[in-house]
Amino acid sequence: MAEAAAVTAVISLAGVNKWFADFHVLRDIDLVVTRGERVVFWGPSGSGKTTLLRALAGIEPVQSGTMVIAGTMKAVGALAAPAPTPGVGMVFQISALFLNLCVLDNLTIGLRHVRKLSKGEAEAVALDNLARMQMATFASRYPGQLSGGQQQRVEIARALCMDPQIMLFDEPTAALDPELKHEVGETLLRLADEGRTIVVATHEEALVHALAPRMVLMADGAIVGESDVKRHFVRGVVQ
């Protein structure tokens, strides 16, 4: 069983620690996620969920431990610098779209500078992914002209442009109304059904029920256990 998991593991963390100055934000994190899994990081604010996602994405380097993500061994230690993790896309809680660029340019900038596509090739990929998110007709608009739900769909389309095998979501429904929360939940399910590995940090019980994931429970920067929807929620009350 362990050998099969090792073969299909796309995230493998062992003894991962991170500090912000004297604050020990991630404590001895051990985690294995296999290809195609749906995983939710669940815990109170300040438990380390977002920092762990950012470490997986390469935004936050860690000071100790071992991290192998999508086949890439990440640099760790005091001198490690932020570096994007190939094969990983992240959608942030707060929009990270460039406000001075239209939607189409927000998507093509990475395709042209990272994947080195021509302008025409980049626009074709961008428009295809916008269409998947029902946002193709908004290609010429600017982020400030979009609703929160529309911005979130553009964020997902931008992440998909890099064709990631792992997608990370930080509180993807936190600022949305109930209808849009349901819509984003359906989008995450479609991505999972495509075979992508989905890792989500969330406080939203409805989203957890929709995804039916493996739940990784976090507190004070540590993984304190695992659960699933049936075991963790009883009649809508957190156990």
Distance CA 16, CA 215 (A): 19
Helices (H) and strands (E) in the chain, counts: 8, 12
- The answer to whether the CB of 27 falls within 8 A of the CB of 222 is yes
User: What DSSP element (H or E) covers 15?
Assistant: strand 9-20
- Burial class of residue 168 in the structure, from the number of CB atoms within 10 Å of its CB (0-12 exposed, 13-18 middle, 19+ buried): buried
The ranges assigned to domains in the chain are: 96-163
Cα–Cα distance measured from residue 47 to residue 10, given in angstroms and rounded to the nearest whole number: 23
Q: pLDDT band for position 7 (50/70/90)?
A: low
The stretch 72-98 carries a mean pLDDT of 91
Q: What pTM was estimated for this model as a whole?
A: 0.88
Looking at every residue in the chain, the average pLDDT score rounds to 90
Handedness of CA 90, 91, 92, 95 (dihedral sign): positive
Residue 237 has pLDDT above 50, yes or no: no
Percent of the chain past pLDDT 90, that is, above it, reads 66
